[in-house]
Chain A
C-alpha cells in the first residue's frame, strides 16, 4: 500500500488565522506569511532557474499573485502547498517563455550563471569566492547544469521531493497533476540525473 494516499494534513491554525486576516485585507498578516515562506520559496525558484536575480523577481511575482488571489484560498490544503502551486505556475510559465524565446530544444539554462541582467530588480549579492569552496562550487555547477537539462515539470517534482521532502500528494497538488504523474516524472527525472551526475555522487 502506498502511504502517500493518506488523508491530507490539516493546515496550521495560526496560519489559517493569518490567511483569514489576509482575506480581510490585512497586509501585516500577509507580511508574516511572507516572512515564514520567503526563504523556501526563493530557494525553490532559485533551484529551478539558477539565477538569483530571476529567482528574486519570480518570488516577488509569486507572492504578489498570492496576495491578489488570497480570497480564493479555501483552506483545503496547507498555505504552503497553495503558494507552491502559484510559485510553480509562475516559474514554469517563465521557463517555458524563456525556452520559446531562446528557440532551444533542450532546457539548458546554465548560461544564466554568468549572465546578470542589469535591469533586474534584484540587488546582486557580491560574495568573494573562497578558494576552499571552489571544489564545492564546481559540484554545484555540475548539479545545476544537470537540472537545467530537465523539463520544468521534471525539475519541479524532483526538487520538491528531494529538497523539500514533500509527499507525492503535496507535489501533485502544487503542480496540478495526479499522484501517478508525479511518480512517473520522478522516475524519469531521477534516471536522467543519475546518468548525468553518477561520477559526482560516487566520488564526492
Chain B
C-alpha cells in the first residue's frame, strides 16, 4: 500500500500510468490546484538543474594526481605497517603476558600470605597470651600458669589459670 506522499511524488514525476493514474487523479479533491502544483514542481526542477548542474571541478588533473598519490601511499603503507604491526603484536603479547602473569602471581602470593597470616590460630592465641601476660605479674605470681583450651567448632574457649598468688589490682571481670 503506497502512501499519499509516494503516489503524489510518482504523479509529479509522471511515473503513474494506467489504472493507478486514473485512481489517483480521481482521488484528488482539487485537480486544478494539483496541476498548478505539478507545474510549480517542474519549474523548481528546471531551476535546480539550470543553476546547480554545471559546477566544474577546477584543476581536474591535480585532483587525479593528488588521488594517485594518496592511493600510492595507501598501497605502500600496508607492507611497512604490516611489519611494524607484527612487531608490535609480538612485543605487546609475549612480554606483556609474562609481565601480567608474574604480576598476578605476585599479587596472589602477597594476598594469600596476608590472609593466612591474619587467620593463623597461633597468632590469635598469642594475642590472648599477650593480654594475659599483662594481667599476670611474674614478680607477684612467679609460678602462675595460664592454659587455653579452644574448640573452634563449638566456639568455646576455656582459660585455665593456676598458681596465682593474688588477682592483679587492675583485674576486672566483665
Chain A: residues with CB nearer than 8 A to chain B? 1-4, 25, 27, 30-31, 34-35, 38-39, 42-43, 46-47, 52, 56, 59-60, 63-64, 67-68, 121, 123, 125, 136, 139-140, 143, 158-159, 161-163, 168, 180, 183-184, 186-188, 190, 193-194, 197-198, 200-202, 204
* Interchain nearest-CB distance for B67 vs A (Å): 5
> Complex: how many Å from CA A38 to CA B66?
13
> Complex: how many Å from CA A135 to CA B51?
12
* Identity of the chain B residue whose Cβ is nearest the Cβ of A190 in the assembled complex: B41
* Interchain nearest-CB distance for A69 vs B (Å): 12
Query: Are A39 and B3 in contact, with the CB atoms below 8 A?
Result: no
Query: Are B66 and A121 in contact, with the CB atoms below 8 A?
Result: yes
* Identity of the chain A residue whose Cβ is nearest the Cβ of B58 in the assembled complex: A125
- Taking A64-B71, A123-B58, A184-B9 as given, write out 20 further A-B residue pairs in contact, using a Cβ cutoff of 8 Å, ordered by the A residue number: A1-B17, A4-B10, A4-B15, A25-B75, A39-B57, A43-B54, A63-B67, A121-B66, A123-B62, A140-B52, A143-B52, A158-B48, A159-B52, A162-B45, A183-B5, A187-B8, A190-B9, A190-B12, A190-B41, A201-B47
Mark interface residues in B1-40 (1 if CB within 8 Å of A CB, else 0).
0110110111011011110100000000000000001001
Which of B3, B16, B45 is packed against the most chain A CB atoms within 10 Å? B45
B90 within 8 Å of A (CB atoms)? no
* Interchain nearest-CB distance for B56 vs A (Å): 7
Chain B contacts for A121, CB-based, 8 A: 66
Chain A contacts for B10, CB-based, 8 A: 2, 4, 183
Query: Are B63 and A46 in contact, with the CB atoms below 8 A?
Result: no
User: Does more than half of chain B's interface fall in helix, strand or loop, or is it mixed?
Assistant: helix
* Interchain nearest-CB distance for A155 vs B (Å): 11
B68 within 8 Å of A (CB atoms)? yes
Query: Are A143 and B51 in contact, with the CB atoms below 8 A?
Result: yes
Chain B: residues with CB nearer than 8 A to chain A? 2-3, 5-6, 8-10, 12-13, 15-18, 20, 37, 40-41, 43-49, 51-60, 62-64, 66-68, 70-72, 74-75
* Interchain nearest-CB distance for A140 vs B (Å): 5
> Complex: how many Å from CA A158 to CA B3?
19
Query: Are B53 and A2 in contact, with the CB atoms below 8 A?
Result: no
Query: Are B43 and A3 in contact, with the CB atoms below 8 A?
Result: no
Query: Are B48 and A143 in contact, with the CB atoms below 8 A?
Result: yes
Chain A contacts for B59, CB-based, 8 A: 123, 125
Q: Could you say which of B12, B18, B40, B66 contacts A1, with CB atoms under 8 Å apart?
A: B18
Q: Could you say which of A1, A39, A163, A187 contacts B52, with CB atoms under 8 Å apart?
A: A163
Query: Are B44 and A201 in contact, with the CB atoms below 8 A?
Result: yes
Query: Are A27 and B74 in contact, with the CB atoms below 8 A?
Result: no
> Complex: how many Å from CA A197 to CA B48?
10
> Complex: how many Å from CA A38 to CA B16?
34
* Interchain nearest-CB distance for A68 vs B (Å): 7
Chain A contacts for B8, CB-based, 8 A: 187
Query: Are A47 and B5 in contact, with the CB atoms below 8 A?
Result: no
> Complex: how many Å from CA A197 to CA B71?
42
Given contacts A197-B44, A201-B40, contact A43 B49 (CB under 8 A): no
